[in-house]
Structure 1
Amino acid sequence: MARPHSEYFRYRNAGVLTAKAAATAPTGTFERLSTSLRRFVFGRPLATEQEIEERLPKWKALSTFSSDNLSSVAYATELIMFTLLAAGTAAFWLVLPISGLIVTLFVIIVISYRQTIRAYPSGGGSYIVARENLGTGPALLAAAALLTDYVLTVSVSVAAGVLAITPAFPDLDAVRVPLGVVSILFVMLINLRGIRESGTVFAAPTYVFLVATLGLIALGIARTVLGDSSHVTGVTRALVVTEPLGVLLLMRALADGCSAIPFRRDL
């Protein structure tokens, strides 16, 4: 019995055909080149039944979906101090109260997200939740806010990372902008490969950052308890106070510190 489709399809079940690799194989030179480029950028195409297997274990999911929050924490305190510096170093005691307000806001957001997960167990991003409860207009506003947040988080986090690296490698100071652009392109290419690949690549830096941060906090507490804290000496340049410590300055410091809470919620 002749089966003209046997070269491109195979029977999976009774009356069900599944395409073989030869069915979508490129035939011409240009098609082969474009297919190779697409596979390099996006990876191997997946069948519909394989998509359900594209899941992350919890330890990878934590590093993948919390990396933007952690990256923002890295410079949020610096922004608060930089803003308060306009009122003089005596205003630095307000860093902890402002940080406490930000932590409180973060707890409220976490509670809200947990309620959303219970209400939408199959998945509900900001756009879906806003559209079903508030309408299309608020949903589009939430989507626009998310897109803005994504762009700002990537650009600011990469710029802060490059700025943190260059003091250790002074020769890179002249190529800070190209280094930042290359870093963004690298992050983009890794994310285009899919969730599993990006989770594998970004897991190690995220956990290294966590260990380093917790180690720094533990070292600071230990040195303070043991009375071995360091003090800055030899500072002679006077600091010029440019703004009074008023409500507007405190609000600006709070807004700058809120960069530690990127509102990452999938569409």
Structure 2
Amino acid sequence: MQTVAQKILVNPNPATGQQAGYQAAMAGRTLYVQSSDAGNVLTITLTDVFGNRETVQSVGAGAKLTPAAGFVAVTISTTADSNVAFIVTQGDIDIQLNQTTVNIGNGSGNPVPVAIVSEPGSPFPVTVTGTVAVSGATLTATNVGINNTTANPVPVQLHVSDITVPVLPALALTPATVTPVVVAAGATGAVLLAADATRRAVRFFNPASSAGPVAIVPAAADAYANGAIVLNPGDFWNETDAPGAAWYASTPAATGATVNLQTVKA
């Protein structure tokens, strides 16, 4: 066994006459790098008796090379000046460390995967962020707080006697007066309002000054005789069940009418 300790240079040093790198005729079976103060900067080439070369790059302390045919020459180059100590032996090398300290950098960029094991009846708290997928197990949670904010609302369904009840968001409502529609006598399906999903209510009014009644109908083909909502002069109807639908007006053959309109939109 032979130990070599030397500063290996990147470039020759004219002042001392030391050449770059390291090269020596040195027979052995195993080469072990004990230290390299510049880190993993070494390129080591081992040449056997037949001239075959085995090369490893970017190695440092702890590197262990054992070519199958052994070697008779050692060449080392470096990318940075480094104080290097290495061992050459005809056998194997087993390094015993009486005491060592290892620091593991477990950062968020390169986290160390670990397995967490707990015994039944001995739970431990775990802080979790992000999405959690539970597979192959039953997840039991107690004292769960639900953060039901405007930005992240919790979807719910309301039921009355097992019937799903729609819930409309609380929005600011704006009433607006629409130009009155004059409906001629004998008209069927005169357009009052086109469909608009933003409407929350519609008010229909047949002024007292109108000549006669008017039927408020949901289809253009509905005649006056088929109307379910018939407003005599002075009558008013507030539609809140289907305010967003299209609405039409039909009149009897003898008289026409005027329909005043007011909408309420979100």
Q: TM-score, normalised by structure 2?
A: 0.21
| Greater C-alpha Rg | 2
